[in-house]
Amino acid sequence: MASKSVVNEAAEIQLAVDLVKLGARLQLLESETSLSRERLLKIYKELKGVSPPKGMLPFSADWFVTWQPNIHSSLFMNIYKYLREHAQVSGIEAVVKAYRLYLEQVVVEHDEEPVLSLTRAWTLVRFFDGKMLTFVKCNKCQGQFVAHNLDLHDDYACGLCHMPSRAGKTKRAKEAESAIQMVA
């Protein structure tokens, strides 16, 4: 009978705490730690004050290739790829570190809400591992962007070099609506 290591269990609890603080869903916690579901529920409730959300995780690779999510997904995956290649981190540690750097760029530098949640970022890495998604080089800016693995990529232009006509309209609409509500 193998004895449980208190140090390993403490590391798993700390990982679960870090993941919950970053917004991880329960399914992610169950997949990345060996803690029991009951233990994870207790950790989640203690940190968030509420039960974890129910329902299935997002499972569409299509979401990652639409305009705005693609820019954020590509930023995250490039950070993740860099950490894997140059910082010798892997697994969930690489996902967490890449996600924190992503948040630093989006939230701290640009004062925006993150488009990519930790659960979506984790799912994105799994899609890359499963070869459903890959990097494609933009023929204009030479940046690496997330795309479907089986799509044709000969003349690829990223969402920054070839913005859709409706890009940014939702943000302006929200700002206009909030301005109207402030006046009223």
Q: Express each pLDDT in 12-22 by its tens digit.
A: 999 999 999 99
Tell me what pLDDT residue 165 has: 76
- Answer yes or no: is 55 within a domain: no
Q: How far apart are the C-alpha atoms of 113 and 136, rounded to whole Å?
A: 26
Tell me what pLDDT residue 119 has: 93
Shared-domain flag, residues 77 and 142 = yes
- Answer yes or no: is 53 within a domain: no
Shared-domain flag, residues 41 and 89 = no
Q: Which domain holds residue 127?
A: 61-173
Other residues' Cβ atoms within 10 Å of the Cβ of residue 63: 14
Shared-domain flag, residues 110 and 133 = yes
pLDDT in tens, 82-136: 999 999 899 999 999 999 999 999 887 777 789 999 999 999 999 999 999 999 9
How many residues belong to the chain?
184
Q: What is the mean pLDDT of the chain?
A: 88
- Answer yes or no: is 1 within a domain: no
Shared-domain flag, residues 152 and 131 = yes
Q: Number of folded domains in the chain?
A: 2
Concatenate the DSSP letters of all residues of 78-130 into one string.
Answer: HHHHHHHHHS---HHHHHHHHHHHHHIIIIIIH----SS-HHHHHHHHHHHHT
Shared-domain flag, residues 70 and 139 = yes
Query: What Å distances lie between residue 145 and 16, 128, 148, 164, 166, CA to CA?
Result: 30, 12, 10, 16, 20
Q: What's this model's pTM, rounded to 2 decimal places?
A: 0.83
Residue 177 scores a pLDDT above 60: no
- Answer yes or no: is 181 within a domain: no
Shared-domain flag, residues 103 and 165 = yes
